[in-house]
Amino acid sequence: MTRYALTLEFDGRPYMGLQRQKHGPSVQEAVETAAKAVSGEDVTMVAAGRTDAGVHALAMRAHIDISKSLTPFRLGEALNAHLRPQPIAVTDCQIVDDDWHARFDCLARHYRYTIINRRAPLSWQKGLAWQVAKELDAQAMHDAAQLLVGLHDFTTFRSAHCQSQSPVKTLDRLDIVRDGDDIHCEVSARSFLHHQVRSMVGCLMMVGRGDWSESDLKDALDAADRHALGLNAPPDGLYFVKADYPDEG
Protein backbone atom coordinates (compact mmCIF):
# COMPACT_ATOMS: atom_id res chain seq x y z
CA MET A 1 0.00 0.00 0.00
CA THR A 2 1.38 3.40 -1.01
CA ARG A 3 0.30 6.73 0.45
CA TYR A 4 0.00 9.62 -1.98
CA ALA A 5 -0.22 13.27 -0.95
CA LEU A 6 -2.45 15.26 -3.28
CA THR A 7 -2.80 19.00 -3.77
CA LEU A 8 -6.29 19.90 -4.96
CA GLU A 9 -7.69 23.02 -6.57
CA PHE A 10 -11.46 23.31 -6.87
CA ASP A 11 -14.39 25.60 -7.49
CA GLY A 12 -16.78 24.87 -4.64
CA ARG A 13 -19.97 26.11 -6.30
CA PRO A 14 -21.28 22.73 -7.56
CA TYR A 15 -20.60 20.93 -4.27
CA MET A 16 -22.17 20.60 -0.82
CA GLY A 17 -18.68 20.91 0.61
CA LEU A 18 -15.40 19.03 0.60
CA GLN A 19 -16.50 16.22 2.91
CA ARG A 20 -18.73 13.45 1.57
CA GLN A 21 -22.42 14.28 2.10
CA LYS A 22 -25.60 12.19 1.99
CA HIS A 23 -27.66 15.00 0.46
CA GLY A 24 -25.52 16.09 -2.47
CA PRO A 25 -22.20 15.97 -4.37
CA SER A 26 -18.89 16.61 -2.61
CA VAL A 27 -15.26 17.06 -3.57
CA GLN A 28 -14.30 14.00 -1.53
CA GLU A 29 -16.79 11.80 -3.36
CA ALA A 30 -15.55 13.04 -6.74
CA VAL A 31 -11.89 12.32 -5.95
CA GLU A 32 -12.64 8.93 -4.38
CA THR A 33 -14.72 7.94 -7.41
CA ALA A 34 -11.89 8.96 -9.72
CA ALA A 35 -9.35 7.07 -7.61
CA LYS A 36 -11.45 3.90 -7.76
CA ALA A 37 -11.72 4.21 -11.53
CA VAL A 38 -7.93 4.45 -11.74
CA SER A 39 -7.00 1.76 -9.22
CA GLY A 40 -9.99 -0.57 -9.05
CA GLU A 41 -9.89 -0.15 -5.27
CA ASP A 42 -12.17 1.47 -2.71
CA VAL A 43 -10.22 4.57 -1.70
CA THR A 44 -10.77 7.00 1.18
CA MET A 45 -9.50 10.57 0.89
CA VAL A 46 -8.41 12.46 4.02
CA ALA A 47 -8.05 16.24 3.66
CA ALA A 48 -6.27 18.94 5.65
CA GLY A 49 -9.53 20.72 6.32
CA ARG A 50 -13.22 20.82 5.60
CA THR A 51 -14.95 23.38 3.44
CA ASP A 52 -18.63 24.33 3.35
CA ALA A 53 -20.86 24.34 0.30
CA GLY A 54 -19.68 26.99 -2.14
CA VAL A 55 -16.20 27.39 -0.60
CA HIS A 56 -13.20 27.08 -2.92
CA ALA A 57 -9.61 25.83 -2.67
CA LEU A 58 -6.38 26.91 -4.30
CA ALA A 59 -4.19 24.21 -2.72
CA MET A 60 -6.06 21.83 -0.42
CA ARG A 61 -3.82 19.00 0.78
CA ALA A 62 -5.13 15.46 1.07
CA HIS A 63 -3.92 11.87 1.07
CA ILE A 64 -5.11 8.56 -0.35
CA ASP A 65 -3.77 4.99 -0.04
CA ILE A 66 -3.55 2.76 -3.12
CA SER A 67 -2.01 -0.71 -3.42
CA LYS A 68 -1.75 -0.65 -7.22
CA SER A 69 1.73 0.37 -8.37
CA LEU A 70 1.49 3.87 -9.89
CA THR A 71 3.99 6.67 -10.27
CA PRO A 72 2.83 9.98 -8.79
CA PHE A 73 2.80 11.55 -12.27
CA ARG A 74 0.69 8.76 -13.72
CA LEU A 75 -1.75 8.85 -10.80
CA GLY A 76 -2.15 12.61 -10.96
CA GLU A 77 -2.75 12.54 -14.71
CA ALA A 78 -5.23 9.67 -14.40
CA LEU A 79 -7.17 11.32 -11.59
CA ASN A 80 -7.48 14.53 -13.61
CA ALA A 81 -8.69 12.57 -16.63
CA HIS A 82 -11.45 10.95 -14.58
CA LEU A 83 -12.36 14.18 -12.77
CA ARG A 84 -13.07 16.04 -16.02
CA PRO A 85 -15.23 18.03 -16.62
CA GLN A 86 -15.76 18.72 -12.92
CA PRO A 87 -14.04 21.87 -11.60
CA ILE A 88 -11.50 19.89 -9.56
CA ALA A 89 -7.83 19.51 -10.44
CA VAL A 90 -4.96 17.56 -8.88
CA THR A 91 -2.14 20.08 -9.21
CA ASP A 92 0.48 17.95 -7.42
CA CYS A 93 0.87 14.30 -6.42
CA GLN A 94 3.71 12.88 -4.33
CA ILE A 95 4.52 9.62 -2.53
CA VAL A 96 4.84 10.21 1.23
CA ASP A 97 5.63 8.11 4.28
CA ASP A 98 2.93 5.69 5.38
CA ASP A 99 2.38 7.66 8.60
CA TRP A 100 2.09 11.08 6.91
CA HIS A 101 -1.38 12.46 7.60
CA ALA A 102 -2.95 15.35 5.70
CA ARG A 103 -5.08 16.41 8.67
CA PHE A 104 -3.16 15.53 11.83
CA ASP A 105 0.30 16.55 10.60
CA CYS A 106 -0.88 19.96 9.43
CA LEU A 107 0.81 22.80 11.35
CA ALA A 108 -1.22 25.70 9.96
CA ARG A 109 -4.09 26.38 7.61
CA HIS A 110 -4.35 29.55 5.54
CA TYR A 111 -7.54 31.03 4.11
CA ARG A 112 -8.33 34.08 2.03
CA TYR A 113 -11.70 35.79 1.89
CA THR A 114 -12.27 38.16 -1.04
CA ILE A 115 -14.74 41.04 -0.96
CA ILE A 116 -15.34 43.06 -4.13
CA ASN A 117 -16.26 46.56 -3.01
CA ARG A 118 -18.08 48.18 -5.92
CA ARG A 119 -21.57 49.09 -7.11
CA ALA A 120 -21.32 47.51 -10.58
CA PRO A 121 -22.60 43.92 -10.62
CA LEU A 122 -20.16 41.02 -10.76
CA SER A 123 -19.75 39.19 -14.05
CA TRP A 124 -17.29 36.28 -14.13
CA GLN A 125 -16.59 36.66 -10.39
CA LYS A 126 -20.18 35.99 -9.39
CA GLY A 127 -20.04 33.13 -6.89
CA LEU A 128 -16.28 33.62 -6.48
CA ALA A 129 -16.36 36.71 -4.24
CA TRP A 130 -18.70 38.63 -1.95
CA GLN A 131 -19.90 41.89 -3.46
CA VAL A 132 -20.46 44.79 -1.07
CA ALA A 133 -21.69 47.94 -2.79
CA LYS A 134 -21.22 50.48 0.02
CA GLU A 135 -17.70 51.89 0.37
CA LEU A 136 -15.69 50.00 2.99
CA ASP A 137 -12.87 51.36 5.13
CA ALA A 138 -10.32 48.56 4.77
CA GLN A 139 -7.90 50.17 7.24
CA ALA A 140 -10.59 50.28 9.92
CA MET A 141 -11.33 46.62 9.19
CA HIS A 142 -7.65 45.71 9.53
CA ASP A 143 -7.24 47.64 12.79
CA ALA A 144 -10.33 46.01 14.30
CA ALA A 145 -9.22 42.58 13.07
CA GLN A 146 -6.17 42.71 15.34
CA LEU A 147 -8.53 42.37 18.33
CA LEU A 148 -9.25 38.84 17.13
CA VAL A 149 -5.61 37.75 16.76
CA GLY A 150 -4.30 35.53 19.54
CA LEU A 151 -5.89 33.06 21.95
CA HIS A 152 -9.63 33.63 22.43
CA ASP A 153 -12.93 31.93 23.06
CA PHE A 154 -14.49 32.26 19.59
CA THR A 155 -17.97 31.00 20.53
CA THR A 156 -19.57 34.09 18.96
CA PHE A 157 -17.97 33.19 15.63
CA ARG A 158 -18.79 29.49 15.81
CA SER A 159 -21.58 27.72 13.96
CA ALA A 160 -24.20 25.99 16.08
CA HIS A 161 -23.30 22.82 14.14
CA CYS A 162 -19.57 23.02 14.94
CA GLN A 163 -18.17 19.71 16.19
CA SER A 164 -14.96 21.07 17.72
CA GLN A 165 -14.47 20.04 21.34
CA SER A 166 -13.50 23.57 22.41
CA PRO A 167 -14.34 27.07 21.14
CA VAL A 168 -10.91 28.29 22.25
CA LYS A 169 -8.55 28.78 19.32
CA THR A 170 -5.38 30.73 18.57
CA LEU A 171 -5.64 32.99 15.54
CA ASP A 172 -2.15 33.64 14.17
CA ARG A 173 -3.00 36.21 11.51
CA LEU A 174 -5.91 38.29 10.26
CA ASP A 175 -4.81 40.95 7.78
CA ILE A 176 -7.15 43.06 5.65
CA VAL A 177 -5.62 44.46 2.45
CA ARG A 178 -7.27 46.54 -0.27
CA ASP A 179 -6.20 46.22 -3.91
CA GLY A 180 -8.43 48.50 -5.98
CA ASP A 181 -11.99 47.26 -5.57
CA ASP A 182 -10.77 43.98 -4.05
CA ILE A 183 -10.45 43.61 -0.29
CA HIS A 184 -8.59 40.47 0.76
CA CYS A 185 -8.86 39.04 4.26
CA GLU A 186 -5.83 36.82 4.92
CA VAL A 187 -6.35 34.43 7.84
CA SER A 188 -4.01 31.85 9.39
CA ALA A 189 -4.28 29.43 12.34
CA ARG A 190 -3.51 25.85 13.21
CA SER A 191 -7.23 25.08 13.19
CA PHE A 192 -10.56 26.85 12.88
CA LEU A 193 -14.09 26.48 14.13
CA HIS A 194 -16.94 25.83 11.70
CA HIS A 195 -17.90 29.17 10.08
CA GLN A 196 -15.24 31.04 12.09
CA VAL A 197 -13.63 32.79 9.12
CA ARG A 198 -16.94 33.70 7.50
CA SER A 199 -18.32 35.02 10.79
CA MET A 200 -15.25 37.14 11.51
CA VAL A 201 -15.29 38.58 7.99
CA GLY A 202 -18.99 39.38 8.24
CA CYS A 203 -18.46 41.38 11.41
CA LEU A 204 -15.37 43.12 10.02
CA MET A 205 -17.38 44.14 6.98
CA MET A 206 -19.81 45.82 9.37
CA VAL A 207 -16.87 47.73 10.87
CA GLY A 208 -15.73 48.78 7.39
CA ARG A 209 -19.24 49.95 6.54
CA GLY A 210 -19.46 52.00 9.73
CA ASP A 211 -22.23 49.92 11.32
CA TRP A 212 -19.92 48.65 14.08
CA SER A 213 -16.98 50.15 15.94
CA GLU A 214 -13.93 48.31 17.25
CA SER A 215 -15.66 48.30 20.64
CA ASP A 216 -18.68 46.59 19.15
CA LEU A 217 -16.45 43.88 17.71
CA LYS A 218 -14.69 43.40 21.06
CA ASP A 219 -18.03 43.22 22.86
CA ALA A 220 -19.17 40.53 20.42
CA LEU A 221 -15.98 38.53 21.00
CA ASP A 222 -16.17 38.90 24.78
CA ALA A 223 -19.83 37.88 24.83
CA ALA A 224 -18.90 34.33 23.75
CA ASP A 225 -22.44 34.02 22.48
CA ARG A 226 -23.51 33.21 18.91
CA HIS A 227 -26.46 35.61 19.33
CA ALA A 228 -23.92 38.47 19.55
CA LEU A 229 -22.75 37.81 15.98
CA GLY A 230 -23.35 40.68 13.61
CA LEU A 231 -23.26 38.86 10.27
CA ASN A 232 -22.06 35.58 8.75
CA ALA A 233 -20.44 36.25 5.37
CA PRO A 234 -21.55 34.06 2.43
CA PRO A 235 -19.29 31.20 1.29
CA ASP A 236 -18.64 32.73 -2.16
CA GLY A 237 -15.48 34.65 -1.28
CA LEU A 238 -13.76 32.02 0.89
CA TYR A 239 -10.71 30.11 -0.38
CA PHE A 240 -8.52 27.51 1.29
CA VAL A 241 -5.11 28.83 0.23
CA LYS A 242 -2.58 26.35 1.61
CA ALA A 243 -1.57 24.05 4.46
CA ASP A 244 1.80 23.93 6.23
CA TYR A 245 3.58 20.72 7.21
CA PRO A 246 6.85 19.86 8.99
CA ASP A 247 9.92 19.87 6.74
CA GLU A 248 8.06 21.69 3.96
CA GLY A 249 9.08 25.15 2.88
Residues classed as catalytic: 52
Cα 5 to chain centroid, rounded: 18
Give the three-state DSSP class for 95.
strand
Q: What is the DSSP letter of 107?
A: -
User: Residue 14, preceding bond cis, omega within 30 degrees?
Assistant: no
Q: State how far the Cα of 64 lies from the Cα of 73, in Å rounded to an integer.
A: 15
DSSP letters for 186-203: EEEES---TTHHHHHHHH
Contacts of residue 98, Cβ cutoff 8 Å, sequence gap at least 6: 1, 3
CA atoms within 13 Å, Cβ hemisphere of 48: 27
Dihedral of alpha carbons 110, 189, 100, 194, sign: negative
Q: What angle do CA 160, 114, 153 make, to 5 degrees?
A: 35
- Amino acid (1-letter code) at residue 137: D
Beta bridge partners of 244: 108
Contacts of residue 166, Cβ cutoff 8 Å, sequence gap at least 6: none
